[in-house]
Amino acid sequence: MDTAIRTRELSKQFRSHAALRRLNLEVPCGSVFGYLGPNGAGKTTTIRILAGLISPTTGGAEVLGYDVVDRCEDVQRRIGYLPGEFAAYPELSGAQYLRYMAHLRGGVDWSEVERLAKRFDLDLTKRFKTLSHGNKQKIGIIQAFMHRPELLILDEPTTGLDPLMQREFLALLRETRDDGRTVFLSSHILSDVEAVADTVAILRSGELVVTKSVDELRERALRRLELTFAGPAPIDALRQADGVREITVDGDTAHVEVAGSTAGLLQAAAPHQVVNIVSHEVDLEAIFLDYYTARS
């Protein structure tokens, strides 16, 4: 199987409100797929349909080759799912709750639970209701990962995790992908998605605005360079170079914004005795935000 998730013209209507409109998504196996979008865009609605918890109004979806409506039990057996607002039985300890979930799954290698708890520095003997927000989220993460599912569907998984735990969690996602398994995650934290996703899809008002590989987005992103010359900066030569969008000159230093490759700019600068070049990080976050707010 090459495709872990496929939706076809998937739509969901809540009374008069169209939460999802004719969504066509394809998530390749063995990848991390980041699902982004502003509040109310329809991310959780998509995820709840994929997890077989609510039905589409029209269109359909397949998860691991199973129709999410007709074969929702097969889907639920084979995925790991973390809901956006994870909650467990308040009186149970972490271990009791996870044993109960493991039992429902028909048995789980308990050493995997212990390994994850140790990795996330979680005390499994404490009752759920006494745990902090972040530690409750860790129980949710463990129940999603403990049976080593081939597909993980995670709704805002880093909510409440401190920076160290976030880093650990992103490492777990990379390992999962390197293991040939698939991760579909929604997030508001653009830097997390940038750090871990192979592909991103951006949803706005229930519609897909863009689906692209992170590498492709990075290639198209604007780069900012400062070039310092031995004499006055050759503004005319630089302005004509391929990809140059904006240029300002401050004495012998040119501040240049380039879309895509910087090869044209460097070629234009080379004959003019460049004494220093400073290149700033590609600003992927700005691109994400553009897609969030663009009108069409």
Choose among 284, 288, 282: nearest CA to 210. Answer: 288
Residue choice 19, 197, 225, 247 for contact with ligand ATP (CB under 6 A): 19
Q: Is 113 in the site for ligand ATP (CB under 6 A)?
A: no
Q: How far apart are CA 208 and CA 20, in angstroms?
A: 9
CB of 2 to ligand ATP, least distance (A): 27
Q: Is 42 in the site for ligand ATP (CB under 6 A)?
A: yes
Stretch that binds ligand ATP, among 13-21, 177-185, 221-229, 235-243 (CB under 6 A): 13-21
Q: Is 17 in the site for ligand ATP (CB under 6 A)?
A: yes
Stretch that binds ligand ATP, among 35-43, 71-79, 230-238, 253-261 (CB under 6 A): 35-43
CB-CB contact of 155 with 47 (8 Å): yes
C-alpha of 185 from chain center: 5
CB of 239 to ligand ATP, least distance (A): 42
Q: Is 14 in the site for ligand ATP (CB under 6 A)?
A: yes
Residue choice 7, 11, 45, 137 for contact with ligand ATP (CB under 6 A): 45
Q: Is 223 in the site for ligand ATP (CB under 6 A)?
A: no
**Which CB atom, from 17 or from 295, has the smaller least distance to ligand ATP?**
17
Q: How far apart are CA 153 and CA 145, in angstroms?
A: 10
Q: Is 52 in the site for ligand ATP (CB under 6 A)?
A: no
178: exposed, middle or buried (Cβ count in 10 Å: 0-12, 13-18, 19+): exposed
Q: Is 268 in the site for ligand ATP (CB under 6 A)?
A: no
Find residue 28's DSSP bridge partners: 3
**Which CB atom, from 40 or from 251, has the smaller least distance to ligand ATP?**
40
**H-only helix segments in the chain:** 43-50, 72-78, 94-104, 110-119, 133-145, 163-178, 190-196, 214-220, 235-239, 263-269, 284-293
Distance (Å) of CA 286 to CA 84, 220, 282: 25, 12, 9
CB of 120 to ligand ATP, least distance (A): 23
Q: Is 56 in the site for ligand ATP (CB under 6 A)?
A: no
Binding site for ligand ATP (CB under 6 A): 14, 17, 19, 37, 39-45
